[in-house]
Every structure is written in structure tokens, then in C-alpha cells.
Amino acid sequence: MLESVHARRILAWRDPVDMRKSFDGLIGLVRDSMIEDPLSGSLYVFVNRRGNYLKLIYWDRTGFALFAKRLDRGRFIFPGQDNTQKLSAEQFKLILDGIVLGGSRHL
């Protein structure tokens, strides 16, 4: 399903997020915390405190789509130090598979 998503950019918010948030709560984080336009065509990634569950929100020209993934074991680990981290499509695919990238740090 995610293979059909053609995001302009992939941005990960590194601060832990309450995973009870759905569309409106995550869109609010995109606008207010990330200072981004949720209608830009970018894919926004959020992770929980434990780092084993993430949600993605994306505008696809007809509405918002929300995806979730929970790892059986391990944690999602993002590279870089900034709160908002830009990811390449390749990095994002590896992170979704639970692969730790070189130079990554735990949340």
C-alpha cells in the first residue's frame, strides 16, 4: 500500500507522540509543532515513547490517509539529531523494516 504513496518529502517528528491521536491531532502537530503545511504532499511520521509504534499521515489530493505500524521486537530509530528529520525514501523503507541506519540514535 505504501508503495503507491508518492510523497514530495518524508519528515519524521522525533519527539514521542501519544498514539491515541488520529487525523486531527496529527494534523495539528504538523501545523503547530513541525510548522509545516499538511496539504503539501509530504508524508509525516510520528513515533510513540517506546519507539515500537509509528503512524504516518499523508494528503493524497482527495483526503488524508493514516497508516500505522507496530514492531514485534525492537524500535524504530531515526538518523540525525533534529526534532524534524528529513528522510530519503530509501532510509524510510529501511526504518520501516526495523533496520538501524549508521549514525542513528535512539529516541
> Residue ranges of the domains in the chain?
2-105
Spatial separation of the C-alpha atoms in residues 41 and 63, rounded to whole Å: 11
pLDDT at 3: 59
pLDDT tens-digit series, residues 64-98: 999 999 999 889 988 888 899 999 999 999 999 88
Residues 19-39 have pLDDT tens digits of 999 999 999 999 999 999 999
Query: CB–CB of 73/60 below 8 Å?
Result: no
Please state the pTM of the whole predicted model: 0.87
At 107, the pLDDT band (50, 70, 90 cuts) reads very low
